[in-house]
Chains A and B, each alone.
Chain A
Amino acid sequence: MDTPLSTSPERRRFNVADFTERFGLVLVWIVMIAGFGILLPGIFLSWMNFSIMFATQSPGAVLALALIIPLTAGDYDLSVGATLTLSAVTVGVLNAVMGLPLGVAVLAALAGGVAVGLVNAFFIVYVRIPSLVVTLGTTSVITGLVQWMTNSSTIGGISPTLVNMVMRGRLFGISYAFYYVIAIALAIWLVFEFTPLGRRILFVGRGREVARLSGIDVGRVRVGCLVASALLSSIGGLVYAGLLGAADPFSGLNFLLPAFAAAYLGATAIIPGRFNPWGAVISVYFLATGITGLTMMGIPLWVTSVFNGAALILAVTVSQFVRGRQETDIG
């Protein structure tokens, strides 16, 4: 679809446009950082500010990374926020309430994530119900289960070991949480770009019938992607529980929309037109930078919701104009 057939000068022009498209978001991000740096001298451009931002946004970043896997294969997973919450409260209930060792609680949380992925996959792939409907349903089921498990109460007293492994432990001044995000993004990038599996996922997302006729086991790929998404969401839940030192039964769902925004915004950068991990991670931090800067300037928080939505629409619009308003393969 991007096969260059052009002559050399055209190719050079294309590359300039290509570069702008690929790194436009990064450039806007840098300009934004510089702008806030000027407006908030001595406060915004501090290592402390960025290290905190990198750590705090980790649960949302993990969720955005979880989302791009089924999205690449052509499925929506609306249950990632609920799965994140399920994982966090599983650790809370097993570790803080029932007193089980942290390792057991973590394994149970991850197993819960895999179970959610398998349930989603069964209804989506085997029963052939649209992914939007199934994951909306499982979100509701999980939300109810979480309220039952927690008695609708926040659970405090999670093992300090988890808090140390996520928030208090630092490398170069940044909490470990951020490095988990980078590790996950790196793993997804390697799979997407350098393995036959990554290509198969992409083919399945671009056209299921074509992929099937090419000999790809489409069902298996989709199941794998949905399970991977749920597993990563449960890792996001562990990060969230480690960041708070508590398990909150309600707030995880709020990560859903920002994560979708970051996934779609990320699809306009680095590898435009494709959901990609680095684009998603950059988008999370791009949005967080804007919100942090605006908050530091004392602007009311409702503005941040406007910023989130406007940034997404604007970025996708700019990207579309750079591409000559082509039809995209996404959504």
Chain B
Amino acid sequence: MQSTCRITVLALASTFLVPFAAHADPVAEGLARATQIVEEHRAVPTFQAPGESFDIRAVAAGKKMLSIPNTSSNQFLKGIIRREIEVGKEIGLEVREWENQGQPNQWVQGIEYAIANDFDIVDLISGVNPAVIEPQLEAAKAAGVQVFTSHFYDPSQEANPLLAGDLPFSFYGQGWIMGNWAIHKTEGAANVIVVKSDEVPPTEPLVRGIRDAFEQNCPNCTILTEINVGITEWGTKIQPAVQAALLSNPTANYVFPIYDSMSQFVVPAVELTGRGEMVKIATGNGTPFVLDFIREGRVEMDVGESLDWVARATIDGYMRKLAGLEMPEELAVPLYIFDETNIETAGTPAEANKGYGDEYVAGFHENWQLK
């Protein structure tokens, strides 16, 4: 949350300050701001308590939570839920996963299961769209089961009113960092090809973050083209589309596959076009195999987030709600830049939770009054 607040403040400050500094060099000033943003997110994240200290064990005692991922084949979500299960053991919360293959009827079944088996919480973690299962949300509400989303909405997006609570994540911030990274590395001359999937709600704020970075910090930077590829077609369409875009845009110097699992199809596209020296790849999510790509020099940067941190912040938010405390306005998980300078900290081969430090674990324990 703190990182997002900082991002928002910087974005606003940029907007208001730029007109008053018309006499100065806007390129140099924008570059300085972009560099500052990059440096801030290169520093190992520090823990900031999401709210007042509370006895989490007392709240969690005897409670049950069912986590329903968008699909159990998504390693990012699976990784978060695995950590949720472990964190649940630390605090006495029973956490179970509702395994599914990404079909809405399976999500419906999951909620019905939670209602029938007296679960206290349903956790729609990063991807299950509440709008698709509204009748079940109403039924859950009537049965006293609290349904939350985490890591699904951006703070700028309205959460479904049937939810008991929501922990939005700043996807905007991820795009903002990617945009500023390209400004920083090209010294204010980034020409970017964006690869995106409009069908996923985080895409809009994420791409808006990139656009805002360029608008506010780089008068000469452009998004040359935005390639929209449906998730099921990543394997067959990203590579030829990026190749075509690179050939028809010879001034391109960055490709942003906004979700880093897209990188596996972007990397060969850049290499095959022989533009590897000039065109760099910057992305976001911190998926281990993409971090390995950074070590191999095939991807330049990945904005990562710790899955363990996401799990702790999610459970923290839900437990606060159950305790009658105020839920954090955002998921308090910082965004951290991995590049060639710090990639070794992610492990060899890279691991999902490595590189972010471990100070936050002690921080959560203290905030939760765990001894």
Contact = CB atoms under 8 A, between A and B. Distances in A.
Given A175-B272, A250-B235, A251-B235, A295 B244 contact: yes
B122 interface: no
A318 interface: no
A43 B247 contact: yes
Nearest to A154: B289
B75 A296 contact: no
Main secondary structure of the interface of A (DSSP, over half): helix
A152 B99 CA distance: 13
Contacts of A244: 264-265, 267-268
Given A48-B247, A154-B289, A288 B264 contact: no
Main secondary structure of the interface of B (DSSP, over half): helix
Interface stretch (A26-34, A51-59, A72-80, A323-331): A51-59
B235 A46 contact: no
Interface in A183-202: none
Contacts of B73: 147, 152, 249-250
A104 interface: no
Contact of B225 (A48, A298, A302): A298
Q: Which interface class (under 10, 10 to 19, 20 to 34, 35 or more) fits A?
A: 35 or more
Interface stretch (B17-25, B175-183, B290-298): B290-298
20 contacts: A49-B244, A57-B240, A147-B73, A152-B74, A152-B75, A154-B261, A154-B289, A155-B289, A156-B296, A157-B292, A168-B271, A245-B264, A251-B265, A252-B235, A255-B236, A258-B236, A292-B244, A295-B245, A296-B247, A301-B237
Given A156-B290, A291-B240, A292-B243, 19 more contacts: A40-B248, A49-B247, A52-B243, A52-B247, A151-B75, A153-B75, A154-B289, A157-B296, A167-B268, A245-B298, A248-B235, A250-B73, A251-B234, A295-B240, A295-B244, A295-B245, A296-B245, A301-B237, A302-B230
**5 tightest A-B contacts by CB?**
A251-B235, A156-B289, A295-B244, A152-B73, A296-B248
Interface of A: 40, 43, 46, 48-49, 52-53, 55-57, 60, 147, 151-157, 167-168, 175, 243-246, 248-252, 254-255, 258, 288, 291-292, 295-296, 298, 300-302, 304
Interface of B: 72-75, 78, 225, 227-230, 232-237, 239-241, 243-245, 247-248, 261, 264-265, 267-269, 271-274, 287-290, 292-293, 296, 298, 349
